[in-house]
Amino acid sequence: MKVVISAGGTGGHIYPALAIINKIKEEDKNSEFLYIGTHNRMEKDIVPKYNIPFQAIEIYGLNRKKVFKNFKSVFCLIKSYFKCKKLIKKFKPDIVIGVGGYVTAPVILSAHSLKIKTIIHEQNSIPGKSNLFLSKYVDKILVSFSSSMKYFPVDKVLFTGNPCSEEALKGKVISKEIFSLSVDKKLVYIVMGSLGSSRVNNIIKSALPLFSNKEYEVLFVTGKELYEELKEIEYSSNVKIVPYVENQSHFLKNVDLIVTRCGATTLSEIIALKIPAILIPSPYVPNNHQFKNGYDLVKRESAIMIEEKNLTEETLINEIDTLINDSEKLNILKKNLSFFDIKNSATIIYNEIKSLVDRKRLWT
């Protein structure tokens, strides 16, 4: 199977794309890939590390505040469309897959014009503008949240879950001891990811000394910039800070409670691994989709939410203390996460891809 795949901008798009690639490789050892991404976002650094052929296009999202910049955006979109058409003609894929971000628009549109089968995957409960636009042109639409099915044509859409959930389940556990953590104490894992904010990080920073002498341990994943600021500070022995955790989903199997944003990939890992969570949705994303992602869990009593506007050092510490020491509540959250669980998401997605490819071959 020959596959062109495109996703960009954030890890929430890129890592599901990589999970789909990994599943295809697992099922089809002779598969070939071409990844098309932006020239200036995360994917240009991440994807080549996995030895996946990568082609960059210059493309920008539309700017609501500086409308004159959209002339350049439209010009780059048209230019990218013709570049993608050329790349796709040369590669001759069986299928083209878009996994989110504005970079997918020229990729999917050029594939559609060449009569190549296409699929998009939507990670968030509120679809992005690119996927809503592209839904008219693709053969199949796959979604991570059942609540987002209503936004798409009923004859095309399928609830598959997020492919990262299957990867999280398969991964080998990373030991706590790597970070000098106790195997006997409960662990609270705090990570804000790429959509952290200075306000939230400042609140967490101020809260760290307040964890002193708690019976549980805290691991705060700071990101590079904040780590440089905090690394010289001495905290209580039950508080650890690190800039980054590689293969985070493999480490999450040790976690008793996570404090995090509501990115779709992180939520898929929380659901798959049944991790009780305190969610702090980012208010700085389109359509407030992080709040809506998280609220899907909250209304099913599968997670706790603190909106950023209500977050203080005291509310954070009190919520963590209350939850980590309430075994009954923790078990209720874990049990209720089963409502969202699709253990074989990547497999379902692969089967949809294979079905479209086989159908295409049957008719050609």
pLDDT > 70? residue 196: no
Question: Tens digit of pLDDT for each residue in 7-47?
Answer: 998 888 999 999 999 999 999 999 999 999 999 998 999 99
Residue 66: what pLDDT?
A: 67
Residues 6+ apart with CB under 8 A from 265: 11, 12, 15, 16, 123, 162, 164
Mean pLDDT of 257-270: 94
Range of the domain at 352: 2-161+343-363
Question: Tens digit of pLDDT for each residue in 208-242?
Answer: 999 998 999 999 999 888 899 898 899 999 999 99
Residue in this structure with the two tokens 């992005």, named with its chain if needed? 128
* Strand 32-38 versus strand 54-57 pairing type: parallel
4, with CB counted inside 10 A (0-12, 13-18, 19+), is buried
Residue 103: what pLDDT?
A: 96
Share of the chain above pLDDT 90, in %: 77
User: Is residue 180 domain-shared with residue 326, that is, in the same domain?
Assistant: yes
pLDDT > 60? residue 195: no
Contact 80, 110 (CB under 8 A): no
CATH at residue 24: 3.40.50.2000
Residue 305: what pLDDT?
A: 98
Residue 47: what pLDDT?
A: 96
The C-alpha atoms of residue 69 and residue 63 are separated, in whole angstroms, by 7
Instruction: Indicate the number of domains in the chain.
Output: 2
Number of H helices, E strands in the chain: 14, 13
Residue 68: what pLDDT?
A: 66
The C-alpha atoms of residue 215 and residue 184 are separated, in whole angstroms, by 10
Residue 268: what pLDDT?
A: 93
CA 70 to chain centre: 27
User: Is residue 26 domain-shared with residue 136, that is, in the same domain?
Assistant: yes
The C-alpha atoms of residue 99 and residue 9 are separated, in whole angstroms, by 11
User: Is residue 185 domain-shared with residue 328, that is, in the same domain?
Assistant: yes
Three-state DSSP class for 155? coil
User: Is residue 33 domain-shared with residue 144, that is, in the same domain?
Assistant: yes
Q: How many CA atoms lie within 13 A of 219 on its CB side?
A: 24
Mean pLDDT of 146-160: 96
CA 307 to chain centre: 20
User: Is residue 27 domain-shared with residue 102, that is, in the same domain?
Assistant: yes
Share of the chain above pLDDT 70, in %: 96
Question: Tens digit of pLDDT for each residue in 71-112?
Answer: 788 889 999 999 999 999 999 999 999 999 999 999 999 999
Residue in this structure with the two tokens 């040369």, named with its chain if needed? 90
Residue 197: what pLDDT?
A: 74
Q: What is the pTM of this model?
A: 0.87
C-alpha distances (whole Å) from 295 to each of 121, 195, 262 are: 21, 17, 9
Taking all residues of the chain, what is their mean pLDDT, rounded to a whole number? 92
User: Is residue 334 domain-shared with residue 350, that is, in the same domain?
Assistant: no
Residue 223: what pLDDT?
A: 86
User: Is residue 153 domain-shared with residue 192, that is, in the same domain?
Assistant: no
Q: What does the radius of gyration of the chain's CA atoms come to, in whole angstroms? A: 21
Contact 3, 99 (CB under 8 A): no
pLDDT > 70? residue 64: no
User: Is residue 127 domain-shared with residue 201, that is, in the same domain?
Assistant: no
pLDDT level of residue 340 (50, 70, 90 thresholds):
confident
Residue 204: what pLDDT?
A: 95
Task: Kindly provide the residue ranges of all beta strands, DSSP E only, lying in 60-170, ordered along the sequence.
Answer: 95-98, 117-122, 140-143, 157-159
Q: Which residues of 183-206 are buried (b: 16+ CB within 10 A; e: fewer)?
A: eeebbbbbbbbebbeeebbebbbe
Contact 162, 265 (CB under 8 A): yes
pLDDT level of residue 361 (50, 70, 90 thresholds):
low
Mean pLDDT of 111-129: 95
Q: Which residue has the higher pLDDT, 59 or 341?
A: 59
User: Is residue 95 domain-shared with residue 233, that is, in the same domain?
Assistant: no
- The dihedral of CA 119, 121, 125, 127: what is its sign? negative
Mean pLDDT of 311-328: 96
Backbone region of residue 300 per phi and psi (left: phi > 0; alpha: psi in -120 to 50; beta: other values)? alpha
User: Is residue 299 domain-shared with residue 176, that is, in the same domain?
Assistant: yes
User: Is residue 150 domain-shared with residue 187, that is, in the same domain?
Assistant: no
pLDDT level of residue 341 (50, 70, 90 thresholds):
confident
User: Is residue 98 domain-shared with residue 179, that is, in the same domain?
Assistant: no
